[in-house]
Amino acid sequence: MKLSKTVCVTGAAGFIGFHLSKYLLELNIPVIGVDALTDYYDVSLKHDRLKILEQDNNFKFLNERIENVQAYENLFRELNVNIIVHLAAQAGVRYSIDNPSEYVSTNLVGTANLLEIAKNLQVRHFLAASTSSVYGANTEMPFKETDKCDTQMSFYAATKKANEAMSHSYSHIFGLPITMFRFFTVYGPWGRPDMALFKFTKKMKTGDPIDVYNHGKMMRDFTYVGDLVKAITLLIDVIPARNQPVCSCDSLSPVAPWRTVNIGNAHPTALMDYIETLETQLNLVAEKNYMEMQPGDVPATSANTNLLMELTGYRPNTSIKDGITKFVNWYNKYYPNDQAKNN
C-alpha cells in the first residue's frame, strides 16, 4: 500500500540530505534519494551514508546530477513523488570564490530543472535549502525572514538568493507551494570534512594547529543537524497558501504561496567558546593559528525563529555541548586511527 506521501530528497548522500532521509524513513515515509556523488570531498563518506539508507526498503537511490534530472520526471511520476525537498547544492563560501562555474551549474541550472519538474508533477509542496548567508552585510540581529537581503558577501550566497527569487517566480506564475529554508551553521555527526567542527577535530587529534579566522572574534548560530531535520520534516506539512499569513512575522509572499523560514538555534555562540567546548570533549588543547577574516565571510549570524515556532510549534534546542559530544563520539568511531602525533 502506498503511503500518502513519497518524498524526493536531492543531495541524499550529503550531510543534511542523509540525516533527513534517515529521519523520514524512520517515520515510514518512502524516500527517493538523488545525488551525483561528486568528489568535492571524500566520496567514501557519501557511500557510507548511502549504505545506511539502503538498508531500508522504502529508500530508492538515483545517481544523477540535478542538472540532468529531467530524465527522471516520468520515474518520479510513477513512484508517486508528491513532495520534493531540494538540498543538493555546491556548498562552501570560500570554494565559490575560485570555482564560480560549479555554483552556476548546480545551484542555478539544477534548481531551475527541479522547479520545472515540480511544476509538471504538480507536487503538493516544494521545499528547498537557502542559507543564512543571504543576509549578507546585514548587521541588525537576530535576522528575520522579512529583512531586506540585497547585500550577499559571497557568490555562494548570491546563488542561494537567486534560488529564492527563481522559486518565487514559479510559485507566483504556477501556484506552486514553496518553502525556502535559511539554514544557520549546521553541524553534527556525518558532517562534511570542509566544515569547521570537522576540520578542528581532525587537526586537534593529529596535533596540527587550527586556523581561527578574524582572530576568533566570530559569533555563529550553530544548529544541530538532528534539530534541523526535525524542523524540515514538520514544515513538509505546513503548505503555504496564498493570502493566508499565520502571524505578523510571516514571510509569506503577497502574490504567491511562497515563504522563507529560518532554521537556527537562536542562541549564537562565540567561536572561541565553541572551540573550548570541543577541547573539553576531546581532552585536548588546540594550537591556534589566528588569522584575518576570510573574503566572503561575515563576523556574526543569529536567527530569529519565531516564524518556525508559529508554523510548527518547534524550536531547535540541542545545546552546543550535547551537539559537539555527539559529533565527537561519531568521529572517534568513524576515524579510530586519528590520534595526536605526540601520543
Q: Which of 40, 72, 103, 156 is catalytic?
A: 156
Please state, in angstroms and rounded to a whole number, the distance separating the CA atoms of residues 85 and 100: 24
Question: Shortest CA distance to 96 belongs to which of 162, 31, 142, 23?
Answer: 162
Residues 155-169 as b/e (b if ≥16 CB within 10 A, e otherwise) read: bbbbbbbbbbebbbe
Is 23 one of the catalytic residues? no
Strand positions, DSSP E, 236-287: 258-263, 269-270
Q: CA 56, 53, 95: angle at the middle one, nearest 5?
A: 165
Q: Are 7 and 24 in contact (CB under 8 A)?
A: yes
The cell numbers describing 272, all together, are 572561541
Please tell me what DSSP assigns to residue 7: E
Q: Name the pairing type of β-strands 81-86 and 125-131.
A: parallel
User: Using H for helix, E for strand and C for coil, what is the string for 313-333?
Assistant: CCCCCCCHHHHHHHHHHHHHH
| Residues near 332 by beta carbon (within 8 Å), at least 6 away in sequence | none
The b/e string for 306-322 (b: 16+ C-beta within 10 A; e otherwise) is bbbebbbebbbebebee
CA of 102: how far to CAs of 38, 56, 109, 208, in Å?
11, 32, 10, 31
* β-bridge partners, 61: 33
Give me the active site residues, please.
156
